[in-house]
Structures are given as structure tokens and as C-alpha cells.
Amino acid sequence: MKSTRNALHTAASIALLSGAAFAFIAISPITQATNAMIQLDDDAYTRQAKRDNLRLMSKSITLDVEDQPVEDVFRFIADVTGADLEPIYLDANSVSAEGIDPETLITIKAKNISAITLLERVLDRTNRVEQPGDDYTWQFTDSGSIEFGPKSELNRHQRLEIYDIADMLFIVPTFDNAPEFDLQSAVQQGGSGGGGSTSPFTGGDDDLDTISTADRASAIQNLIETTVEPDQWANAGGDGASITIYGSSFIVTASDYVHRQIDGYDFWPARLTQIGVKDGQRNVRIKGDPKYRKSNTRP
């Protein structure tokens, strides 16, 4: 699925979701054009910031620590790469009081792996040590930095994406009920002068078995919700993602890490996006770019 990411998202979302509750406000073409240009500039800046951070996190790192506070490990990754990292730590003053305990001791050994892979391993190791009941992962913020911690905290930041599924809804009919031609009957009618009223064709009157577009869209929605972060969808009682079907598109409001599992990142090479299945769930991993392994400088 190819996601439509452009300046029309905001306008389309408002038009689709607001309904008649909002009065029409006339906006001059100049204002509309200016707002669109600002939005495009913001999107381009954010995309570049995300790309730059992934390039920095492509740097190769070797690490061998034992019983080291995880906060020190995160600081080491940030210092070595220069990437903009935002760990979500436990905060006694926070309303939810959920996050990574900076004093958690971890032991990890890694040799010449990308910083982004190391970050994922450290998060996985920390999750197993703390056993918080809520998996740790990472995602991009609106400014392009990388934040990581419990999914429940990451779910506070969500965005809307429109996924075009028209090609998945189109069904090529299978014509398996064509009428049969009775050659003997045709010959007999020809021998009698061709005046017979019986057709030499039989069968072919049954309707084709087809699945409606709505049913097919619902099936695809169910497939996504059961294989991509299944605990996070609203239909499953989660607070990390929701889907609305509109025509031949899915309107998905979700956290960045959920969108990553659906479609990866369009600004990152497909060859560095590894798609697999783990424990019955779709698993999309972002790999570091070898071109930036030895240096974290921008091109």
C-alpha cells in the first residue's frame, strides 16, 4: 500500500470528519496557497530531519557492558552517533508514571552493528528485565527526533495517514460458468433446415460468485488489525490506532510505530526495510544504511 503524504491531508481530513457541525468559512486562494506552501515546507523539513536521524543511527557501534545503567547506554548511543534521541523515563511527577527506569542494569554485547539495531536490542533487553507489561519500542516525533519507551506513552502522539487500497479491492472475475456447445444438437438442427428453436448452447445461466467491495475492505481491515500491532487498535480496546474506511481508502489515525509496521518509511530505501512475520504478526525492521556506517556526517 502506498500512503498519500502531502499537504492535502489536513484539508481532506477536516472535510471527511467534521461533517456539518462546522460552518463554511471562505478562504482566499492566496491564503490557501500560502498555507499549502507552509505545510509542504514543514513536511519537507520533518522528512529531512527523520532521514538525517536514521543516517546518524546507521553508524556502526561495538558495545560490551555488564550491569550498566540503561541511561548510560542510551547516552553513549546519542554521544557516538550525534542523533537526536528522546528516551521516556519514569517520572514520579507524571500522571501515568510509565516509562523506562534509568537505573535498570543491563548486560549487552554487540559488535559492529548499526546504532538503530543496537537501540532495538537495548529496548528489548530492558523490557525483559523490567517486565512492565507494556512493550518498549521507538518512533519519530513530529520534529523528526527519535523517542522511545512504553507504547502506551508513544500512543500520546498520533497522526493521520490515508492509504489507497483501490488495487487491493479490484477483483478480476473468474468466468467459470461459460455455456457449453452441443455439437450434435447443432448438426441435427442444420440437417432439418435450421428452423429449430432449441439453442445448441446449454448452461451458463448461474450468476458469478463475487465478493462485494465493502466486504473485501472489511476483510483487509481485519487482516491489518490482527497482524499489525493487534493490541493497539481501537476495535481491540487499544488506544494506539484506528481505521475508518472511506471509498477505496483507509483513513488511519495511529502512532508512528504503528504506521511503520504498516508501510515502513517512504523516505528510507526499500532495500533497508526488512519485512517479516514474527509470532504471527507483521514485523517491519528499519536497517541502517551501510553508506553511513563509518561516519555520522550528513552528505
pLDDT at residue 15, as a whole number: 38
80 in any annotated domain: yes
17 in any annotated domain: no
Which of 131, 81, 62, 71 lies closest to 104 in space, CA to CA?
Answer: 71
Which of 49, 236, 50, 263 lies closest to 139 in space, CA to CA?
Answer: 50
Q: For residue 216, what are the β-bridge partners? A: none
222 in any annotated domain: yes
| DSSP string computed for 178-206 | PPEE-HHHHHHHHHTTS-----SEE---S
28 in any annotated domain: no
Structural domain total, the chain: 1
DSSP 3-state of 223: helix
How many other β-carbons are positioned within 10 Å of the β-carbon of residue 222? 12
Sign of the Cα torsion 129, 81, 91, 232 reads negative
Contact 84, 54 (CB under 8 A): no
Give the separation between CA 292 and CA 273, rounded to whole angstroms.
Answer: 16
pLDDT at residue 133, as a whole number: 80
How many other β-carbons are positioned within 10 Å of the β-carbon of residue 164? 15
Nearest 5°: phi and psi at 182?
A: -95, 100
Nearest 5°: phi and psi at 294?
A: -95, -10
pLDDT at residue 132, as a whole number: 83
pLDDT at residue 201, as a whole number: 59
Nearest 5°: phi and psi at 233?
A: -80, 145
Please list the rounded mean pLDDT of every run of 10 residues in the chain (299 residues). 43 38 42 51 85 96 96 97 96 73 95 96 96 92 96 95 92 67 61 58 57 90 96 95 95 98 95 92 94 62
Angle (CA) 150-72-56 rounded to 5° is 75
70 in any annotated domain: yes
Mean pLDDT taken over the chain: 81
Instruction: Sort 211 into a burial class: Cβ within 10 Å, 0-12 / 13-18 / 19+.
Output: exposed
Give the predicted TM-score (pTM) of the model. 0.74
189 in any annotated domain: no
pLDDT at residue 296, as a whole number: 43
31 in any annotated domain: no
Question: How far is C-alpha 53 from the chain's CA centre?
Answer: 19
DSSP 3-state of 59: coil
Instruction: Give the residue numbers spanning the domain of 112.
Output: 53-168+210-292
Q: For residue 137, what are the β-bridge partners? A: 149
251 in any annotated domain: yes
